[in-house]
Amino acid sequence: MEKNNKQILWYNLAFMAFSTVWGFGNVVNGFVYFNGVQAIFSWLLMFGLYFVPYALMVGELGSTFKTEGGGVSSWIQNTTTNKLAYYAGWTYWVVHMPYIAAKASGGLKALSWVVFQNSSLYDGLDIRLVQCITLAVFLFFSYVASRGLNPLKILATVAGTSMFVMSILFILLMMAAPVINPNGGYQQIDWSIGNFIPNFRFEYFTSLSILVFAVGGCEKISPYVNKVKDPAKGFPKGMIFLAIMVIVCAILGSISLGRMFDVNEINANFDSYVSNGAYWSFQKLGNYYGIGNTFMIIYALCNMVGQLSTLVVSIDAPLRMLLDSDTAKDYIPHALLKKNKKGAYINGIWLVVAIVTPLIIIPMLGIKSVTAFLRFLTQLNSVCMPLRYLWVFAAYIALRKSMDKFQSEYKFVKNQAIAKFFGVWCFFVTAFSCTLGMFKGSPFEITMNIITPIALVGLGAIMPLLAKRNKLTVSAE
């Protein structure tokens, strides 16, 4: 009886994963970047050809290494070498740096909507002033992270849950709005098949990283694979149900936005819609229901709390994952392992400050508006964050090459050739999307998109050299 109480039913797993993977921002970004309702076609392709096999591969890795707590780096360590495991852990950590910069900026943007209830004043500010304020916010929350304030992790979870609820409510309320208020002034959607087929130009492929970034991260649920009732059947059933839920939300969300916004207006004001589209959506929704900015203010408050609390967690949690691992201690200088009285890796936080500060300051040298900067951060994150998924697929390929060494309660597919094909396929899609995503934006932005991931990942190659030098110095003394 006790065993059954500990087991997770497949639909519970699906809902857990859904709240982790999906959010309203994904719907808005897909709609804005992929020409309105044409995003539906791209979502269907991404889920069918990438997300479903990705999630099922994660399930097999989690089931095989169910006693390992290090996630991707543990999978790499067991299937390859300790040094590659260190690089996997480093990549997982370092790609959070642009994400942290985006959270500081996103928190300020949400606050501006709470205070001003429109986009014009904040977006019209000098970018140098906004970036200085953003830097001050980041430095303050870096200090907060150094104090080891664990309740903020709970706050981030609560805020994330509220954002998830707001996302679902938006779709339900917007689908009902034309019935409740038929004279709301909605856009008409052209339902012909041709209107839903994208134009497969180079620009289309440079935006694919946005979708890869949106659907990634399901490796976070890997610890629960073996807690599912009948993992061999329950886990894939849960993941397929997850995919169905996300597809339905992506389709209904895109249709809802299609009733609100004119695609031509979006394309003419692209930067503004990337940074303000979610707020305008809830603002319009409130107008349809005759309650003004109420929905928008609630959404902005939830988003502000979520962005700023996640900022602290993103400074602290990935750093702990990196520095707590046994493999990292052999390849990282001893000074970075120092903890303060609150148990925080104080020198590691200083390293975060040293990396993120240029990501906040340098862009204002070549980007002239606040909206362009927020759009740039969205694109940069779509290039950098999915790099960590490459290690998931590398671990899966390595696992399948050594299947005789490992036992798993759940397998994605039994056929070795098919399993390896999907591992290579997902690796290729991720690498392809990230690479082409670098070439979107102005020449300055493209340069930043290329240099940033190379510099961040490359810094990981320097750390083992510093660690080796540190050991030689200690032994000489």
Residues 6+ apart with CB under 8 A from 44: 247
Residue 368 in any domain: the answer is: yes
Please check whether residue 114 lies inside any domain of the structure: yes
Structure tokens at 255: 């249709």
Domain assignment of residue 283, yes or no: yes
User: Could you give the maximum distance between any two Cα atoms of the chain, in Å?
Assistant: 81
Q: Looking at residues 32-38, what average pLDDT do you find?
A: 96
> What distance in Å separates the CA atoms of residue 154 and residue 83, rounded to the nearest whole number?
33
Closest C-alpha to 97, from 355, 348, 322, 328: 355
pLDDT at residue 452 greater than cutoff 50: yes
| pTM: predicted TM-score of the whole model, two decimal places | 0.92
- Is the pLDDT at 238 greater than 90? The verdict is no
- Predicted confidence (pLDDT) at residue 353 exceeds the cutoff of 80: yes
Rounded mean pLDDT of the chain? 89
Phi, psi of 244 (to 5 degrees): -65, -45
Q: Looking at residue 3, what is its pLDDT?
A: 45
> Using one digit for the tens of pLDDT, what is the confidence trace for 99-120?
999 999 999 999 999 999 999 8
In a domain, 1, yes or no: no
Q: What is the mean pLDDT of residues 152-164?
A: 73
DSSP label of 335? G
* pLDDT for res 385: 95
In a domain, 82, yes or no: yes
Averaged pLDDT, 263-275: 96
Query: In CATH, what number is assigned to the domain containing residue 457?
Result: 1.20.1740.10
Q: Report how many domains make up the chain.
A: 1
Q: Is residue 2 part of a domain?
A: no
Domain-embedded: residue 15 = yes
How does pLDDT run across 52-75, given as a tens digit for each residue?
999 889 888 888 887 766 578 889
356 vs 8, residue with greater confidence: 356
Phi, psi of 460, deg, nearest 5: -65, -25
Nearest to 28 by CA among 386, 352, 283, 232: 283
Which residue range is the domain that position 336 belongs to? 10-475
Lowest mean pLDDT, pick from 116-125, 422-431, 443-452: 116-125
Mean pLDDT of 331-350: 90
Residue 185 lies in a domain: yes
pLDDT at 70: 59
